[in-house]
Amino acid sequence: MDSTSGDEVSIDFSPLIKIYKDGRIERLMGCDVVPPSLDPTTNVDSKDIVISKEQDISARIFLPKLTDHDQKLPLLVYFHGGGFVIETPFSPRYHKFLNTVASQANVVAVSVHYRRAPEHPVPIPFEDSWTALKWVASHCTGNGPEEWLNRHADLGRVFFAGDSAGATITHNMGIRVGTGGLPGMKIEGIVLIHAFFWGVQRIGSEAEKPQHAVLVERLWRLASPTTGGLDDPLFNPVMDPNMGRVPCKRVLVCVAENDFLKDRGWYYKESLEKSGWQGSVEVMEAKGEGHVFHLFNPSCENAVSLLNRFVSFINHG
C-alpha cells in the first residue's frame, strides 16, 4: 500500500477543515483551548461541566463577581459559531468574549459545546443544543445538577445568543421553545450575530458575489449532507411556517457591511416582522467590517460598539 495514500485530501475546505481519503479530519482553525479560570481582569469565574457524557455535550459556565452569595442574575445561553465544523466554547476567542459579556452585562452565561460536523452532521448540533437547553431548564426549581445555576441563575430572565452557525442554532432553539415550550424558562430576548442563513433564491447583493455563494453552499452541504438542502428551515428560516413563534418580544440582529451574509440578516428582520410575530426586532450594522470581526479584533471601535449594544440589549428594561 502506498504510504502516502493517507495524505490524499478528499475535501479541502481551507482555512476551516480538510478531510482526507482515509477518513481522517484535520481542523485548521478553532483548535486552541484555554482552561476555565478566575479572570483577573473581569473578576469572572468560569468552570466546565458535563451535560451528557454519552453524547459528549458539555458547557463552560461564566459567573461574574457577586454582591452577595445568593444573588440571582439573568441567564445567557450562548451557541458558538464555526460553520458547524470548527470552534468550541473553550477557544481563547470565545472564552474572552463570554468573560467580557458576563462581566459587563452582569449575567450568568452558559456557553454550549455541541458535537460538530462532519463526524456529527446536522441536525445533531441542533439536537445537542436542545439537550443542553433542557439541562439548563432542569434548574428552574433550584434542584438541578449545577450549583451555580441553582443559586445564581434567574430562569425567568433568559437570553439566547450566538454568532454565525451559532446564531442559526440560536434562532432554531427559540422556535423550538416557542412551538413546544420549555417549562421553567422565560426567554426575554434573542441576539443573532452574523447569522449563517441562506437559501436557494439570491437576495440583495448575493448575485454579485457568486464565489461567496459557492462557499456558503459547499459548507452547508458538508455540514448537512442528508437534510433538505439550501431551503431547509434549519438554514433558511423564512421557509419555516413557525417563524413567527419566536418566544420573546425582543430580537437584536447584528450584521457587518462586508460580510457576505449581511443581506440575510436584513431579510430575517423583514421576514420576522411580516410573520405575525408581535415583538420588536432591530438591526445593528457594523460599517467596513467582515464576518465575526468582533472575535478576531475585539478591541476595535466597532467591536466595542457591538459589545455595548449586546450588553444594553440584555439590560434593557
- Predicted confidence band of residue 110 (pLDDT cuts 50, 70, 90): very high
Number of domains into which the chain is organized: 2
Residue pLDDT, tens place only, 12-57: 999 999 999 999 999 999 999 999 999 999 999 999 999 999 999 9
- Predicted confidence band of residue 7 (pLDDT cuts 50, 70, 90): confident
Q: Which three cell numbers stand for residue 65?
A: 463577581
Instruction: For residues 18 and 55, state if they share a domain.
Output: no
pLDDT of 2 > 50? The answer is no
CATH number of residue 185's parent domain: 3.40.50.1820
Lowest mean pLDDT among 76-85, 89-98, 201-210: 201-210
Q: For residue 111, indicate whether it is catalytic.
A: no
Instruction: For residues 156 and 239, state if they share a domain.
Output: yes
Q: At what angle do helices 301-315 and 92-105 cross, to 10 degrees?
A: 50
pLDDT of 76 > 90? The answer is yes
Cβ atoms of 190 and 174 closer than 8 Å? yes
Q: Which of 139, 194, 259, 294 is catalytic?
A: 259
pLDDT of 152 > 90? The answer is yes
Q: For residue 259, indicate whether it is catalytic.
A: yes
What percent of the chain is predicted at pLDDT more than 70? 98
Q: For residue 164, indicate whether it is catalytic.
A: yes
Instruction: For residues 27 and 54, state if they share a domain.
Output: no
- Predicted confidence band of residue 317 (pLDDT cuts 50, 70, 90): low
Distance CA 37, CA 169 (A): 27
pLDDT of 214 > 90? The answer is yes
Cβ atoms of 112 and 62 closer than 8 Å? no
Q: Which three cell numbers stand for residue 286?
A: 457594523
Instruction: For residues 206 and 257, state if they share a domain.
Output: yes
- Within 8 A by CB and 6+ apart from 270, the residues are none
Q: Which three cell numbers stand for residue 36?
A: 476555565
Q: Which domain holds residue 10?
A: 1-31
pLDDT of 151 > 70? The answer is yes
- Predicted confidence band of residue 209 (pLDDT cuts 50, 70, 90): confident
Cβ atoms of 107 and 76 closer than 8 Å? yes
- DSSP 8-state code for residue 185: -
Instruction: For residues 206 and 83, state if they share a domain.
Output: yes
- Predicted confidence band of residue 1 (pLDDT cuts 50, 70, 90): very low
Q: Which of 103, 129, 164, 271 is catalytic?
A: 164
Q: What are phi and psi of 33, to 5 degrees?
A: -130, 150
Instruction: For residues 21 and 64, state if they share a domain.
Output: no
Lowest mean pLDDT among 4-8, 18-22, 188-192: 4-8
Instruction: For residues 8 and 142, state if they share a domain.
Output: no
Distance CA 146, CA 92 (A): 24
Q: Average pLDDT, whole number, for the chain?
A: 95
Cβ atoms of 169 and 79 closer than 8 Å? yes
Q: What are phi and psi of 77, to 5 degrees?
A: -105, 120
Instruction: For residues 78 and 11, state if they share a domain.
Output: no
Cβ atoms of 50 and 131 closer than 8 Å? no
